[in-house]
């Protein structure tokens, strides 16, 4: 698991109105380091030329330099259209230094109107990134996004390129050359194309996915790291631009030895959402330095931006060598419906958990015929094995907001509890459902009465969210903050917060949504997000688990780290899931492909996560708290 962090200096390169050749856009940058300087070659676009027909913006390849990796100066045109094969533009460069030569591959536009037949790959050779030594047409067929490996593979020059970029499906392919001249040899490419299927990297998950190489390959001890663009639902109005990573074998780069399971970055920031092509991110360059991967990308086809990932966390995640975040108890499920117990016959799910008196106490949602929910109880000394479990519910619907008002006997109740200790009382947030609208409810009990199982001592429950507005997945931050108490809740698709002055919920109500996190469209949590367990205080911040739902309605678990002093500020958010359905009891059930935690208990350095599986049973999984916090480590800031 790893965290991706956008630089606070973004965008690091933007168009300049006073530079006619880059007045419209400056984007899709590819960096290379030489000495103490970072050089960025990038695509620059001019205003449309009103003296020509058609009135087209022209793209050139520009270069800029930086001493700190953030502020780029001395911006100038490196090369532009001057050959028949690139007469209508030079786009999207990728630069690699091999020996004493910089190889800058770019998209060459050789005709208008643009079509697959006019879009090919060109290359420029330079010794100094100031002058052009040579320029050649590379591919005689439709292709884009080509980059050279920074060293020879088996004694040969090697490259990755993307073919069929303008008539889907596109593919990222491998090519190697005995000598430099083969790179632009029509004969070489004619022979290469005869066996094109053998050169393709097997990446595509769905037929309508569109792929393009992002950055030039980077060498690590584990393999060649390749950042690439992955577009879902390509050609549709709801398409999503995403970023993914491959790990290729060092000696045989045709062999994939690791990869991300899906996009770990999609458009979110304002400068990615607004521009020439809104809602677009496109990786075009990468560097490894200071123990982190720096991903450079085009934002909305207008700017160059950068994001970072701690390299070790990324490599462990994509190779599968990190000790799997959460380890399931081999005896799962630990709680399941008991034969003949009618009030839980249709499911025992979504458990709250709290550590009191040296024992783990679990309250779980029990589902009866007609989807009527009550709360059951279980207790464990070791946090895993169940010591006792009463044969009756310990909490029943009592108020109108959790009961049918039309006399019906189906589809209502108390759902999905969370438990928090504040001073000497235990507060329970849960979903009260009257068959029409789910609302957040709160009840409390003294810690002493809870330990003694004096369930009649629960306070009168209060609905604290407005009627008529679906709201659930609530928890209370267990310490005062900003002079009051912070409540988390979910409105529609997002995790929200509000502040109240006291814990007297007969008076205090949730009245606003301060968004903490929302869905990331196209990622594993792109459908909706909601709180899992209540937040836990750590030395690094408030640790909050959340569930994320994908377009395919799979429920997975992620984590965020909130600021200790202002928990509305998200310090880190997992780019990939921490936990997802794998076992049969999670993949099948009343609702398949669901893991849904509501409880997190910390004992020493071990975190115990209690979750519903398949909306039918309860499991527990553990992880070292220190390992979880390590996974939430953010990259070093790229700041001037």
Same domain? For 143 and 244 the reply is: yes
Is residue 546 domain-resident?
yes
Number of domains the chain is built from: 2
Please state, in angstroms and rounded to a whole number, the distance separating the CA atoms of residues 246 and 249. 10
Same domain? For 486 and 608 the reply is: yes
Mean pLDDT score, 17-39: 95
Q: Which of 83-97, 223-237, 439-453 has the lowest mean pLDDT?
A: 223-237
Task: Give 429-439 pLDDT, tens digit per residue.
Answer: 999 999 999 99
Q: Are 550 and 295 in contact (CB under 8 A)?
A: no
Report the candidate in 546, 541, 543, 542 with the shortest Cα–Cα distance to residue 524.
546
Mean pLDDT score, 519-535: 95
For the domain that residue 440 is a member of, what is the CATH number? 2.115.10.20
Q: Is 70 exceeded by the pLDDT of residue 640?
A: no
Q: Are 386 and 378 in contact (CB under 8 A)?
A: yes
Same domain? For 294 and 331 the reply is: no
Domain boundaries, position 605: 327-631
Sheet architecture: strand order including 425-433: 348-356, 359-368, 372-380, 412-422, 425-433, 438-446, 462-463
Is residue 536 domain-resident?
yes
Same domain? For 312 and 340 the reply is: no
Mean pLDDT score, 611-616: 98
| Domain's final residue, options 319, 336, 371 | 319
Same domain? For 340 and 265 the reply is: no
Same domain? For 208 and 71 the reply is: yes
Task: Give 544-579 pLDDT, tens digit per residue.
Answer: 999 999 887 899 999 999 999 999 999 999 999 999
Same domain? For 570 and 515 the reply is: yes
Is residue 171 domain-resident?
yes
Is residue 638 domain-resident?
no
Q: Are 383 and 603 in contact (CB under 8 A)?
A: yes
> What is the reported pLDDT for 491?
93
Is residue 640 domain-resident?
no
| Domain's final residue, options 319, 340, 363 | 319
- For strand 536-538 and strand 528-531, is the pairing parallel, antiparallel, or unpaired? unpaired
Same domain? For 50 and 140 the reply is: yes
Q: Classify the C-alpha dihedral 385-532-471-563 as positive or negative.
A: positive
| Domain's final residue, options 290, 319, 348 | 319
Q: Is 80 exceeded by the pLDDT of residue 638?
A: no
DSSP element (H, E) containing 380:
strand 372-380
> What is the reported pLDDT for 322?
52
Q: Is 90 exceeded by the pLDDT of residue 635?
A: no
Is residue 639 domain-resident?
no
Same domain? For 284 and 360 the reply is: no
Same domain? For 147 and 55 the reply is: yes
- In order, the DSSP letters of 439-503 are EEEEEEEEHHHHHTT-GGGPPPPEE-S-TTS-EEEEEE-SS-BTTBEEEEEEETTEEEEEEESSS
- For strand 37-45 and strand 101-109, is the pairing parallel, antiparallel, or unpaired? unpaired
Tell me the pLDDT band of 622, cut-offs 50, 70 and 90: very high
> What is the reported pLDDT for 195?
94
Is residue 189 domain-resident?
yes
Same domain? For 457 and 547 the reply is: yes
Mean pLDDT score, 135-152: 97
Please state, in angstroms and rounded to a whole number, the distance separating the CA atoms of residues 488 and 481. 13
> What is the reported pLDDT for 52?
72
Pair of tokens at residue 386? 């169940």
Tell me if the pTM is above 0.85: yes
Task: Give 159-172 pLDDT, tens digit per residue.
Answer: 999 999 988 789 99
Same domain? For 627 and 590 the reply is: yes
Task: Give 112-123 pLDDT, tens digit per residue.
Answer: 888 999 999 999
């Amino acid at each position: 698991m790893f965290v991706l962090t956008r630089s606070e200096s973004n965008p690091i390169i933007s168009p300049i109105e006073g530079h006619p050749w880059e007045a419209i856009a400056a984007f899709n940058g590819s960096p290379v380091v030489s000495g103490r300087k970072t050089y960025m070659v990038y695509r620059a676009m001019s205003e449309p030329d009103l003296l020509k027909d058609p009135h087209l913006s022209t793209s050139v390849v520009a270069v800029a330099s930086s001493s700190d990796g953030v502020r780029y100066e001395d911006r100038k045109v490196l090369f532009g259209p001057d050959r028949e094969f690139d007469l209508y533009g030079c786009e999207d460069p990728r630069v690699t230094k091999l020996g004493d030569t910089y190889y800058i591959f770019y998209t060459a536009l050789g005709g208008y109107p643009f079509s697959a037949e006019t879009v090919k790959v060109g290359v420029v050779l330079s010794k100094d990134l100031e002058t052009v030594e040579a320029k050649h047409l590379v591919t005689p067929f439709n292709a884009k996004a080509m980059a050279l490996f920074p060293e020879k593979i088996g004694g040969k020059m090697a490259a990755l390129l993307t073919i069929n970029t303008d008539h889907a499906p596109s593919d990222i392919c491998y090519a190697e050359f005995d000598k430099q001249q083969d790179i632009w040899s029509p004969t070489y490419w004619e022979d290469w194309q005869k066996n094109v299927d053998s050169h393709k990297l097997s990446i595509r998950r769905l037929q309508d996915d569109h792929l393009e190489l992002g950055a030039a390959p980077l060498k690590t001890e584990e393999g060649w790291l390749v950042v690439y663009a992955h577009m879902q639902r390509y050609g549709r109005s709801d398409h999503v631009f995403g970023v993914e990573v491959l790990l290729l074998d060092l000696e045989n780069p045709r062999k994939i030895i690791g990869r991300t399971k899906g996009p770990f970055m999609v458009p979110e920031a304002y400068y990615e959402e607004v521009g020439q092509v809104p809602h677009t991110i496109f990786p075009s360059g990468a560097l490894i330095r200071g123990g982190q991967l720096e991903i450079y990308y085009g934002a909305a086809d207008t700017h160059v931006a950068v994001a970072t990932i701690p390299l070790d966390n990324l490599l462990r995640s994509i190779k599968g060598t990190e000790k799997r975040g959460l380890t399931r108890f081999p005896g799962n499920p630990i709680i399941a419906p008991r034969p003949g117990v009618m009030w839980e016959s249709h499911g025992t799910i979504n458990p709250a958990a709290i550590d009191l008196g040296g024992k783990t106490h679990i309250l779980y949602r029990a589902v009866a015929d007609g989807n009527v929910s009550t709360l059951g109880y279980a207790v464990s000394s070791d946090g895993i094995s169940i010591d006792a479990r009463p044969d009756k519910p310990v909490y029943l619907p009592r108020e109108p907001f959790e009961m049918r008002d039309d006399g019906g006997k189906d589809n209502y109740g108390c759902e999905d509890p969370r438990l928090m200790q504040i001073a000497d009382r235990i507060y329970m947030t849960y979903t009260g459902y009257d068959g029409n609208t789910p609302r957040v409810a709160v009840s409390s009990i003294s810690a002493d009465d809870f330990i003694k199982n004096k369930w009649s001592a629960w306070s009168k429950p209060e609905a604290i969210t407005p009627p008529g507005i679906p709201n659930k997945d609530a928890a209370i931050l267990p310490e005062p903050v900003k002079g009051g108490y912070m409540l988390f809740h979910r409105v529609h698709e997002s995790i929200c917060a509000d502040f109240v002055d006291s814990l007297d919920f007969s008076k205090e109500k949730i009245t606003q949504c301060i968004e903490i996190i929302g869905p990331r469209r196209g990622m594993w949590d792109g459908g909706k997000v909601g709180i899992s367990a209540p937040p836990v205080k750590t030395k690094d911040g408030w640790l909050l688990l959340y569930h994320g739902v994908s377009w395919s309605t799979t429920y997975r678990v992620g984590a965020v780290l909130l600021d200790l002093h202002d928990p509305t500020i998200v310090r880190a958010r997992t780019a990939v899931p921490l936990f997802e359905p794998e076992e049969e009891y999670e993949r099948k059930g009343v609702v398949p492909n669901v893991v849904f935690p509501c409880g997190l208990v910390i004992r020493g350095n071990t975190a115990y996560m209690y979750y519903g599986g398949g909306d039918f049973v309860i499991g527990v999984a553990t992880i070292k708290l220190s390992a979880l916090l390590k996974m939430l480590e953010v990259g070093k800031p790229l700041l001037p």
